[in-house]
Amino acid sequence: MIKLTRIDDRLVHGQVAMTWTPALGADCLLVANDKAATDEFLKMTLGLAKPASAKLLIKTLADAIIFLNDPRGQNMKILVLVNSVKDAAALAAGVSEIKSINFGGIRTREGTHSIAKALAVTDDDIAIIRDLLAKGIELEVRQVPTDNKTPIETLI
Amino acid sequence: MLATYLLLTLIAVFGHFEDFLGTTLLSRPLILGPLVGLVLGDVTQGVMIGATLELIFMGNIKVGAAIPPDIITGGVLGTAFAIMSHKGPAIALALAVPISILSEMVISGLFVFRAVFNKKFNQYAEAGDYKGVQRLHILSGLLKPVLMGVIIFVALELGSTAIKSFLDLIPAWVQSGLQVAGNMLPALGFALLMNLMFNKRVAPYFFLGFMLAAYLKLPIIAIGGLGVIIALIVTQDAPKLAATASNDDDFDFDDTPAETTPVEPQHQLSNGTLRKLFLRSLTLEANFNFETWQNTGFAFAIIPVLKKLYHTKEAMTAALKRHLQLFNTSPYGSTLIIGITAAMEEQNALDKDFDEESISSVKLGLMGPLAGVFDSLFWGTFKVIAAGVGTSLAIKGNILGPLLFLIIFNVPHLLLRYNLTFIGYNAGTKFLQNLSKSNVMDKLTSGAAILGLMVVGAMPATLMNIKTPLNIGSSSSAVGVQGILDQIVPAMIPLGLTFLIYYFVKKQVKTTWLLLGLLALGFAGSIIHLFV
């Protein structure tokens, strides 16, 4: 069962290990990222950051979709982590269980503008966001679980 | 009075100066309270009020961009007004809570505003002017202590007469209501801590801590010691404990890190230069802002290395620009990344074919995961034990409380932070690979959870004082309910209340609402004589 799908460009870090994992009672962190799945260095560092109470899976987007659609995942409490709006959309398209996406942190890059603290998006991202909203998927902005959910449509 | 107000302002400025002092917890109410007491001539009151506020705000921590209430400003003003009006801890918290929330908003605003300097930083980088970068990092960093200092001074100057006469109007029943509510509020702090650590696997240790405190009346310092021993035994004898979660099925599970090509640095930098990295890392958060986070702090820390390595403007410009990219990690483990970066910069200076991009990608790759490790270790374990031991002494007015609090937290903090600089520089990513190949990390996180949770379990029994004055039966043969409860489970009310709040925290009820709810419950409970 997917407890949360989160966009966070640091993937696993302090907020995820210390606030989200315990708050959701997650026993599995699934990092869905093509680069991390093939980059041994990234894999190693993500493995270090993993909280002791959960297991960590690092998969390519395609494998993550297969995994999340596998009925054996039903008795796991999964926190899905992606690092871009694009990847979140690809995941949502492939996994019908994803009805809500949490926007955590995306750092500023070339061509982005900040829409909330710790959240910077490009025009392409906004197009994808509108598309997801049109499909009826909830898009909420929250750094940590106790923040108020801010619907993304109020920010763009 | 002016001199007193100035001194109080300086205490708060000192607290806000912590961003330059390496997040050493000097700004916690447990430390600033006694200082305020010293200025106002009542250290004992300051120690006790500081401990009360520490208990309530102990679950408030800064992770990522989540900024907790500004307990520096709230704590100093609340403690000062409470001592000046002789009204005690209950009034301090009634004032500290709203002030903290208000000044948090001011600080968030500042963190947004600071981003406007990023353009200036980039201009300095473009010119290879590392001195400019250093100067602006410090100047922009000073904005927070200075701004908050002005606010605090004005609040004292304009507000104290009004607040004193307002406090004098408060009737006795309101005060006793606040007193009861104040005794209840630590439940929120404990519940927030539990939320960080509590899960089925380590739950027994919470209750072990509770029983040791409630039945055996062991002091928290003893329970912390026992916790260390138990954590050592458990993680040694059962190395598979941490791994069991991953072995229960083989359902497509993969977290085994494979080989990577390690960076083999050729060491040239002196120990003196490396020590500078450590010292400068203490200012990592000084210029924190919501756009690029700790980037200028990182640049500031690494500049001694850049100065040694790069002697042309072009090289310095490229390096400065590289390190002014966004950065954010746990200050406690930051020197590991800074040390690794130093080794890579050195390699880059020596080797023309070195891929500069790899410096940034290692930095960015490590900052998140290492933040997870070090934030958990320090906020979830060292801080909890330090605060448990410190407050349990300080709540009785013992000045050793604040001192032990600083020592327990900062001896491991500074030793580790200092050594990580050298480990990062000398062993670099190899060290991390060894770490991830061994199960040291799993042992460490499991052990830390056991230890932290035992201390948190002891807290409701040791640090919360709520009793019921209810009697059963008529006047002559009345039996006190509290006496009966004590025979079954001592400290049953504090434990129950902590779990109640924990339940609501799990339900993701906002902290502010829980604070208000507890205040209301304490108030109502006091009025109908359910609690004293």
Q: In the prediction, which pLDDT does B253 show?
A: 46
Q: Is the pLDDT at A42 greater than 80, yes or no? A: yes
Q: Does B262 touch chain A (CB under 8 A)?
A: no
For residue B383, the chain A residues in CB contact (below 8 A) are: none
**Using the beta-carbon criterion (under 8 Å), do A14 and B436 form an inter-chain contact?**
no
Q: Chain B residue with minimal CA distance to A24? A: B506
Q: What pLDDT, on a 0 to 100 scale, did the predictor assign at position B66?
A: 61
- Here the tokens at position B423 are 């480990």
pLDDT of B511: 80
> pTM for the full model?
0.88
Using an 8 Å CB-CB cutoff, list chain B residues near A55: 245-246, 253, 255
CB proximity list for A40: less than 8 A, separation 6 or greater: B257, B258, B259, B260
For chain B positions 472-531, those within 8 Å of chain A (CB to CB) are: 505-506, 508, 510-511
Q: In sequence order, which residues have a C-beta less than 8 Å from that of residue A141 and are 6 or more positions away?
A: A102, A103, A116, A119, A149, A150, A151, A152, A155
Q: A24, A75, A88, A21: which is closest to A50 by C-alpha? A: A21
- The answer, yes or no, to whether residue B483 has pLDDT greater than 70, is yes
The beta-carbon neighbor of A14 closest among B108, B111, B330 is B330
Nearest to A17 among B242, B258, B372 (CB): B372
Q: How far apart, in whole angstroms, are the C-alpha atoms of residue B223 and residue B205?
A: 11
Average pLDDT over residues B108-126: 94
Q: What is the pLDDT of residue B242?
A: 44
- pLDDT tens-digit map of B1-11: 899 999 999 99
Q: What is the pLDDT of residues B226-251, one digit of tens each?
A: 999 999 999 886 544 444 444 444 45
Nearest CA in chain A to B194: A22
A49 and chain B in contact, CB less than 8 A? yes
Ranking A104-108, B170-174, B475-479, B498-502 by mean pLDDT, the lowest is B475-479
Given a cut of 60, whether residue B166 has pLDDT beyond it is yes
DSSP B471: E
Instruction: State yes or no: pLDDT of B22 exceeds 60.
Output: yes
The rounded percent of chain B whose pLDDT value lies above 90 is 63
ipTM over 0.85? The verdict is no
Of A43, A53, A58, the CB nearest to B199: A53
Q: How far apart are CA B138 and CA B135, in angstroms?
A: 5
Residue B61 binned pLDDT confidence (cut-offs 50, 70, 90): low
Q: What is the pLDDT of residue B372?
A: 84
With contacts defined as CB-CB under 8 Å, which chain A residues touch B442? 52
B149 versus B193: the higher-pLDDT residue is: B149
pLDDT of residue A49: 83
- pLDDT tens readout for residues B355-414: 898 899 889 889 988 988 898 889 888 999 999 999 999 999 999 999 999 999 999 999
Beta bridge partners of A97: none
